[in-house]
Amino acid sequence: MAEPILKWAGGKRQLLDELYARFPVTYDRYHEPFVGGGALFFDLEPPDATVNDANPRLVNFYEQVRDEPEALIDRLASFADPGTDPDPDLPFAEETARARDVDSYYYQQRARFNRRPYEGEFDPLEEAALLLYLNRTCYNGLYRENADGGFNVPVGRYANPDWVQRDRIRRASDVLANATIGNDDFEYVLDAAEPGDLVYFDPPYEPMSATAGFNEYSADGFDRGDQRRLLDVVSALDDAGVWVVLSNSGVMYEPYAEAGLHVDVEGATRAINSDASNRDEVDEIVATNVPPGQRLDVGQRELPEF
């Protein structure tokens, strides 16, 4: 079974059973317009799928995992410990593109990773390797961008971080070989999904309070207008005979219920939070248009056709 390679805010590993319990007994092609860390996708290992994300660097990462897994592993194996001195043979050994001092190998690699948003230049394989390296060595495995699209998370504290992730890359590459990877708006699924297909939506969550938003995942963000567009897309898919499962924060219970979906509240612990004491269980909802009598029994997950 494949596993997620990246740590990612809003990962769904804790909710897998609840999500599978809303799946239809049978379906055709699988689609995931907000793939993120891909916890459900990699656990499911669908034989035919589309996966998509708004973050172009995340999409590039998955393309490199799919197409160049061994070259990616070799590049990752060449990186040094984040606390060592900058490599004088690589760019940004002394200062960043914005003239800030570089005092460790980690910050040199962060500056190299930010060549795309700040300078418009990037090497796809190198950027993918840097994304995983930074993800596994930055503070709390957080992915965050500033208003200009620059990755701005500080270095973390790890005794022996594993940024190469050989086994996970190889297994994920096999799963991604059966997927079409996109960097489109989530509405692409209106054209991609056919009657009998299954779509899982895991959008950036609507904040539980005015100050609770995690909207720095990418520079573009995901606002309430996007949440409304998503509901319109879900309604259109439902009318077209496409199965839909969604997850979101508890504040979306009423809008989803009013749209005619079956909605349930589930508890989920926030694994990424700057304050460990605040990684508490919060209300999370799972919604679907799959009627209870047509849902998969979770015990059926081990059946060969699944």
Average pLDDT on 178-192 reads 97
Contact 199, 168 (CB under 8 A): no
**pLDDT of amino acid 244:** 98
Q: Would 13-54+183-302 and 63-163 be classified into the same CATH topology?
A: no
How is domain 13-54+183-302 classified at the architecture level of CATH?
3-Layer(aba) Sandwich (3.40)
Sorting pLDDT into bands at 50, 70 and 90, what band is 197? Answer: very high
Tell me: pLDDT of 218 over 70: no
**165 burial via Cβ count (<10 Å: 0-12, 13-18, 19+):** buried
How many of the other CB atoms lie within 10 Å of CB of 160?
5
Average pLDDT on 72-98 reads 97
Amino acid at 228: R
CA gyration radius for the chain? 20
**Bridge-based pairing state of the strands 281-288 and 262-269:** antiparallel
Percent of the chain with pLDDT over 70: 88
Tell me: pLDDT of 220 over 60: no
Which pair of structure tokens corresponds to residue 253?
């219970």
Written in H, E and C, the secondary structure of 75-130 is HHHCCCCCCCCCCCCCCCCCECCCCCECCCHHHHHHHHHCHHHHHCCCCHHHHHHH
**pLDDT of amino acid 138:** 98
The pTM is what? Answer: 0.89
Which pair of structure tokens corresponds to residue 256?
């989803």
Instruction: Give me the helix-helix angle, 56-67 and 69-77, nearest 10°.
Output: 110
- Choose between 116 and 273: higher pLDDT: 116
Domain boundaries, the chain: 13-54+183-302, 63-163
Average pLDDT on 3-24 reads 92
- Taking the alpha carbons at both ends of the chain, their separation in whole angstroms is 13
Least confident of 73-87, 126-140, 188-202, 257-271: 257-271
Amino acid at 39: A
Question: 63-163 domain in CATH 1.10.1020.10?
Answer: yes
Tell me: pLDDT of 306 over 90: no
